[in-house]
Amino acid sequence: MVDEARAAGTLGGKHLVLGVTGSIAAYKAVGVLRALREQGATVSVLMTRGATKFITPLTFEVLSGHRVVTDLFESPETMPHLTMAEGADAVLVAPATAHFLAKAALGLADDVLSTMLLNVRCPVIVAPAMDGEMWTHPTVTQHVDALRARGVVVLDPEVGPLASGRIAQGRFPAEGTILDAVHAALLPQRDWRGQRVLVSAGPTQEPLDPVRFLSNRSSGKMGYAIAEAVCARGGDVVLVTGPSALTPPSGVTTVHVNTASEMADALSRHFSSCTVLIMAAAVADFRPRVPASGKLKKQGKVAIEFALEATPDILAMLSARRTSQVVVGFAAETEQLLSHAKDKLRAKGLDLIVANDVTHAGGGFGSDDNAATILSATGEQRAFGLMPKRRLADEILNAVRDLCLVVPRGQSLVE
Ligand code: CTP
């Protein structure tokens, strides 16, 4: 099926920027460029100075049909680091040297490729090639981890004979592997087809009286992003949402609730027919034991006391009731992120927990971005730096798919 997806025209309408850096594997980028063109993509090529030592810009110019840029300062009018970034659906850096990985990880911008990278927000795929000792050097590992945590797809180089004559991991990835990564980034993935996913989102509001309530700062953005991502990847979604200003994604069955108790009822109704529960809601932990039936009047009072009681722990309750469902929770923490998240994972009997530090600058409640660490009951851990919630939603789905769902043999991840 992936071969079918590689058929001519599949990448029609897509525009890629191909960055070529100074590795002996630079000549192999020619094959990648031809394959992308055969599949209908338009491709603009940027080369570093090192790359031009191995292969001439003219080769890429002829095969791409576009001018190749090698110099950030070629002319004051063109500003290639901006113009090349415009309209890019994806950036592919192939081959990528250890030097390039270091610059990209640190955000250095001293040539046209590294500077252009700071101007794009589209998917970035990197295909490293270098000697084995370099690939396994702790500094390179650190840079690769930093890029992956930022959502960059860094492919693993292959094991085999290298230019040095050694046999080790460092060979430029196979053309098919690179094309699969481009497809996964650019074509709709349908890997959640057949899954019925129950997603909770937003805060709950616990009435103090008919006009006032206890609540929290949750906007619902993370849960709505997850619902949208599941839909985009072919799954069915029931979204149970507390009060939120957001419009539910189209194609999603939405149930609106206000209180923790209404949320518990709605989720309970749909739980038995779902295959995965993702509990992104920020459920209020406490509610007034007896809300006032009429509006509370000031009447000269200077203080007022309310007796609060705990709301039901919906996630723990549903997890205890599960038959074959995969159950995913969130941990909103302000300190000791990982140890508190691990405690919740165990205590609530979850398959996965998404731990996020709600005090993180630029992330957390209300923000469009989030940073998180995903922990599994089987001990795996994936950390993600600050990224748009919609991208993090895809990473959460990837983790659930890889660690908890069994994908039937032969099922394609790409349609
Ligand atoms: N949760 C729930 N019902 C509650 C409270 C929380 O289902 N009454 C769920 C949340 O949706 C989240 C997970 O439990 O998926 C963890 O929520 P969090 O607020 O991080 O932790 P709590 O369990 O409420 O514990 P604490 O407030 O002490 O950190």
Q: What is the pLDDT of residues 279-290, one digit of tens each?
A: 999 999 999 999
Residue 305 lies in a domain: yes
Query: Do both 163 and 200 map to the same domain?
Result: no
Active site residue 216: yes
DSSP type of residue 85: T
- Quote the pLDDT of residue 367: 84
Q: How far is the CA of 400 from the centre of ligand 1 (A)?
A: 19
* Separation of alpha carbons 257 and 349, rounded Å: 25
* Separation of alpha carbons 67 and 72, rounded Å: 14
Atom of ligand 1 nearest to the CA of 329: 15
* Separation of alpha carbons 103 and 143, rounded Å: 9
CATH of the domain at 365: 3.40.50.10300
- Ranges of residues in the chain with a pLDDT under 50 are 1-3, 5, 408-415
Residue 415 lies in a domain: no
* Separation of alpha carbons 249 and 254, rounded Å: 9
Query: Do both 219 and 112 map to the same domain?
Result: no
Residue 191 lies in a domain: no
Query: Do both 216 and 93 map to the same domain?
Result: no
Angle in degrees, CA 14, 15, 19, rounded to 5: 135
- Backbone phi and psi for residue 192, each to the nearest 5 degrees, phi listed first: -105, 10
Handedness of CA 289, 292, 296, 299 (dihedral sign): negative
Query: Do both 177 and 228 map to the same domain?
Result: no
Q: Is 283 in the pocket of ligand 1 (CB under 6 A)?
A: yes
Residue 42 lies in a domain: yes
Q: Is 26 in the pocket of ligand 1 (CB under 6 A)?
A: no
Residue 410 lies in a domain: no
Residue 113 lies in a domain: yes
Q: Is 315 in the pocket of ligand 1 (CB under 6 A)?
A: yes
Domain residues for 67? Answer: 2-186
The pTM (predicted TM-score) of the whole model is 0.76
Nearest CA to 309 out of 285, 280, 293 is that of 285
- Quote the pLDDT of residue 6: 55
* Separation of alpha carbons 6 and 135, rounded Å: 29
Query: Do both 304 and 335 map to the same domain?
Result: yes
Q: Decide which of 186, 205, 226 is a domain's last residue.
A: 186
Query: Do both 88 and 116 map to the same domain?
Result: yes
Closest residue to atom 19 of ligand 1, CA basis: 332
Domain count, the chain: 2
- Quote the pLDDT of residue 138: 97
Q: Is 314 in the pocket of ligand 1 (CB under 6 A)?
A: yes
Query: Do both 227 and 160 map to the same domain?
Result: no
Query: Do both 180 and 222 map to the same domain?
Result: no
Q: Which structure tokens are listed for 188?
A: 């709709």
Handedness of CA 226, 227, 230, 236 (dihedral sign): positive
Q: Is 271 in the pocket of ligand 1 (CB under 6 A)?
A: no
Closest residue to atom 28 of ligand 1, CA basis: 285
The mean of the pLDDT values for the chain is 92
Residue 311 lies in a domain: yes
DSSP SS3 for 371: strand
Q: Decide which of 161, 186, 211 is a domain's last residue.
A: 186
Query: Do both 176 and 209 map to the same domain?
Result: no
Q: Decide which of 186, 209, 224 is a domain's last residue.
A: 186
Residue 413 lies in a domain: no
Mutate to test the pocket of ligand 1, among 267, 315, 336 (most ligand atoms within 8 A of CB): 315
Atom of ligand 1 nearest to the CA of 282: 11
Query: Do both 11 and 124 map to the same domain?
Result: yes
Q: Do 205 and 369 meet the contact criterion of CB atoms below 8 Å apart?
A: no
Q: Which of 216, 258, 356, 370 is catalytic?
A: 216
Query: Do both 149 and 289 map to the same domain?
Result: no
Closest residue to atom 21 of ligand 1, CA basis: 331
Q: Is 279 in the pocket of ligand 1 (CB under 6 A)?
A: yes
Q: Which structure tokens are listed for 334?
A: 């302000």
Q: Which structure tokens are listed for 378?
A: 């089987």
Query: Do both 314 and 229 map to the same domain?
Result: yes
pLDDT in tens, 228-271: 999 999 999 999 999 999 999 989 999 999 999 999 999 999 99
Closest residue to atom 12 of ligand 1, CA basis: 330
Q: Is 281 in the pocket of ligand 1 (CB under 6 A)?
A: yes
